[in-house]
Amino acid sequence: MIPLIYSKAIGQLPDPAFRRVLLIGIGATVGLLVAITWIFTLVLGWLVPDALTLPFIGEITWLDDLASGLGILSMLGLSVFLMVPVASAFTGLFLEDIADAVETRHYPGLSPAPKVPFGEALRDTFGFLGVLVVANLAAFALYLMFIPLAPLIFWGLNGFLLGREYFQVTAMRRLGREGAAQMRKRHMLKIWVAGVPMAMVLSLPLINLIIPVIGAAAFTHLYHRLAAQEV
């Protein structure tokens, strides 16, 4: 089942709805990271003095330039880790568009799903972003303690979190929040396993930016297949 849902999701990438959400997610992510980097370097430039006089050395006038350069390099390094969760957050705001496109092509007999209010989607999306960031920061100690197992820990943790969230949001369109939560609990192991391939690709630069779109499509297929089994 899992290879099939991902192959169907990848096969629909040329869909205009997919491209639109992908471009919005990447564009908004890059714009936000550039803005954060700019603000961070401005703050560093304000905190570090333009010149400093040291004993035996004299006046140093390049500290602020050094601080700004290090700030930019630091933010570029952090962006590698921040880009995926931030892109996932922005994409989450438009997940319904992906699910609608999948259902239009593969499940044409379905009635349109009720729209989730934008404020509710915004709250859920950024709540998940916070959980994703905090959980990975908390797991960082485990990565350092068990370095050989770090990839497995990363895949297991993020596979669980991604699978749980994407299934919940997808199923909620048809079942409501409580019904989606109950179905998620009944199929938690399958959902966890389905989330692991998403987590495994998170470490691949550039390719990882399309994962939120592919994941939204794959979990739409997963929901409908599990729902059919319960009938």
pLDDT value of position 81: 58
- Kindly report, residue by residue over 90-109, the tens digit of the pLDDT: 666 777 788 888 998 999 88
What contacts 24+ positions apart, CB below 8 Å, involve 19-22? Answer: 20/94, 20/97, 21/91, 21/94, 21/97, 21/98, 21/213, 22/91, 22/209, 22/210, 22/213
Which residue type sits at 126? F
Amino acid letter, residue 65: D
Most confident of 9-18, 24-33, 65-74: 9-18
Rounded to the nearest integer, the mean pLDDT of the chain is 78
The domain in which residue 199 lies consists of 2-230
Question: Per the structure, how many domains does the chain have?
Answer: 1
Q: Is residue 189 predicted with pLDDT exceeding 90? A: yes
**pLDDT tens per residue across span 29-84:** 677 777 777 777 777 666 655 655 556 565 555 556 666 666 666 666 565 556 65
In the DSSP assignment, the letter for residue 53 is E
What is the token pair recorded at 60?
Answer: 């140093």
Tell me the per-residue pLDDT of 193-208, one tens digit each, with 9 for 90 and over. Answer: 999 988 888 767 667 7
Q: How far apart are the first and last CA of the chain?
A: 17
Asked if 40 and 71 touch (Cβ cutoff 8 Å), the reply is yes
Cα–Cα distance, 193 to 147 (Å, whole number): 22
Q: Residue 62 is inside which H or E element, if any?
A: none
Is residue 214 within 8 Å of residue 9, measured between CB atoms? yes
